[in-house]
Amino acid sequence: MHLLSRFYRAGILVVLFSVSSQAGADDTQTVLIGFSGSLSGISEHFGKSMANAAELAIAEANRNPYKIDGKRIFFRLVRMDDRGDPVRAQHVANALVQSGVIGVIGGANSATSIAGAKIYATAGIPQISPAATARKFTELGYRTTFRTVGSDDDAVPYLADFVVRDLHAGRIAIIDNGTLFSVGATTRFADIAKDNGASIVIRESISAVSSDFDALLRRIKAHDVDTIYFGGYSAQTSMFAQGMQRMEVKSRLVTAMIGIVGASFFISTGAAANGSLSLESGVPFNKMAGWKKFEAEYTQRFDFNVYGMTPFSYDAAQVLIAAIRQANSLDVRRVVDALHEISYRGLSGTISFDASGNLRNPSFTIYEAQNQRWVAVKSQVGR
């Protein structure tokens, strides 16, 4: 713990030294924006893609700086690695507050976003998560908490309705991996599916590091299940799908776990991915206004994959910068006020928040894996 604290203090000193070395006695001012996400570990690629997107938004803002109190404002991103761990996310939150950030993009999942929320709220600093979908995140009651993705309360019923009504699923196995997101989403899915007339014939909980699913798959096969709702991480979903193919389980695989939709799932899963269904926030990338420009600039700058949550991190940084401009102030209280009032046309659509910080009118898309491609089969488009 002491080593961890020293590590963060050292990181803060490096950031502050770097800023002070560039902020001279002229008419410019450097403003720090924090990023908290998984920059290492099992979700490293997702976290880095979100940090890159926030970096791109900041670079664009810095090309056309505006003035506050007579000084041109330039932004800088402070990236910090929470490794997807809620305890570490609290240390990151304290470090970012101490570094003097005006706002934070993160965390990169529901559990880490919730873990840091009280710390940011106590400091009055706005926190905008591009990935937290759990209901609890905005039920904490903090005025500083926002998200640029729709919540499970909106997403899961949409998926469950589609599975039962459009796919005519009747006998469903539901599996969570014990994480906050997974337990909440699978429970909600089960409730909606039952209300629509489906039977939940297997309800199972695995661990977040489980990788051997043979016994579970044998049970599923024996119970004549037609649909499996699987709430595991992307790597677990890949192994599960391969197990289904190997053991000739004919059930349809459905998931709403963030990050499944993307080329990396096909790379790790191969032909076993085909037929899988997954839900992601937003409309398909090619339906987003300005997508081609974003994709070209992102890949040229970073040479790194774009994942499902990448555009929402870009929009989180964009809307924070827009709120600072709308407030015409670096006072975090005024920036929070502006976020509650803002209506901003972002890459993913119009971004505005309700009193709890939830995204108004969120969009969702259900994808099917067909011949090693994700094909959008149905979308709910926010106004």
Check whether residue 18 and residue 132 sit in a common domain. Answer: yes
What digits encode the pLDDT tens for the residues 39-80? 998 788 889 999 999 999 999 999 999 999 999 999 999 999
Check whether residue 192 and residue 128 sit in a common domain. Answer: no
How many folded domains does the chain comprise?
2
What digits encode the pLDDT tens for the residues 259-289? 788 888 899 999 999 999 999 889 999 899 8
Instruction: Name 80's bridge partners.
Output: 36
Decide if 78 is inside a domain: yes
pLDDT band for 179, please (50, 70, 90 cuts). confident
Count of alpha carbons within 13 Å of 310, Cβ hemisphere only? Answer: 27
Check whether residue 206 and residue 271 sit in a common domain. Answer: yes
Instruction: Look at residue 250 and tell me whether its pLDDT is greater than 50.
Output: yes
For 101, the token pair is 């950030």
List all residues 6 or more positions away from 354 whose beta carbon is below 8 Å from its beta carbon. Answer: 360
* Torsion, CA 219, CA 223, CA 229, CA 235, rounded to 10: 30
Helix (H) or strand (E) holding 93: helix 86-99
Decide if 210 is inside a domain: yes
Decide if 144 is inside a domain: yes
Q: What is the CATH number of the domain that holds 315?
A: 3.40.50.2300
Check whether residue 252 and residue 294 sit in a common domain. Answer: no
CB contact at 8 A, 53 and 78? no
Check whether residue 206 and residue 130 sit in a common domain. Answer: no
Instruction: Look at residue 4 and tell me whether its pLDDT is greater than 70.
Output: no
- How many C-beta atoms surround the C-beta of residue 381 within 10 A? 13
Rounded (5°) CA angle 79-127-337: 135
Check whether residue 177 and residue 303 sit in a common domain. Answer: no
Instruction: Look at residue 2 and tell me whether its pLDDT is greater than 50.
Output: no
pLDDT band for 152, please (50, 70, 90 cuts). confident
The SS3 assignment for 167 reads coil
Decide if 358 is inside a domain: no
Determine how β-strand 28-37 pairs with β-strand 104-106. parallel
The SS3 assignment for 367 reads strand
Decide if 357 is inside a domain: no
- Average of pLDDT values for 95-108? 96
pLDDT band for 99, please (50, 70, 90 cuts). very high
Q: What is the pLDDT of residue 101?
A: 98
Range of the structural domain that residue 185 is part of: 153-281+364-380
The SS3 assignment for 9 reads helix
Q: What is the rounded CA–CA span in Å between residue 164 and residue 281? A: 20
Check whether residue 97 and residue 22 sit in a common domain. Answer: yes
Decide if 33 is inside a domain: yes
Q: What is the rounded CA–CA span in Å between residue 38 and residue 47? A: 5
Decide if 179 is inside a domain: yes
List all residues 6 or more positions away from 368 whose beta carbon is below 8 Å from its beta carbon. Answer: 275, 276, 277, 374, 375, 377
What digits encode the pLDDT tens for the residues 10-43? 444 444 444 443 444 479 999 999 999 999 987 8
Helix (H) or strand (E) holding 192: helix 180-195
List all residues 6 or more positions away from 310 whose beta carbon is below 8 Å from its beta carbon. Answer: 49, 50, 52, 53, 298
pLDDT band for 232, please (50, 70, 90 cuts). confident
Decide if 333 is inside a domain: yes
Check whether residue 167 and residue 265 sit in a common domain. Answer: yes
Check whether residue 22 and residue 99 sit in a common domain. Answer: yes
Across the chain, mean pLDDT equals 90
pLDDT band for 305, please (50, 70, 90 cuts). confident
Check whether residue 40 and residue 114 sit in a common domain. Answer: yes
In Å, how far from its chain's centre is CA 257? 10
pLDDT band for 307, please (50, 70, 90 cuts). confident
Q: What is the pLDDT of residue 257?
A: 72
CB contact at 8 A, 369 and 347? no
Check whether residue 104 and residue 250 sit in a common domain. Answer: no
Q: What is the rounded CA–CA span in Å between residue 68 and residue 28? A: 10
Check whether residue 265 and residue 160 sit in a common domain. Answer: yes
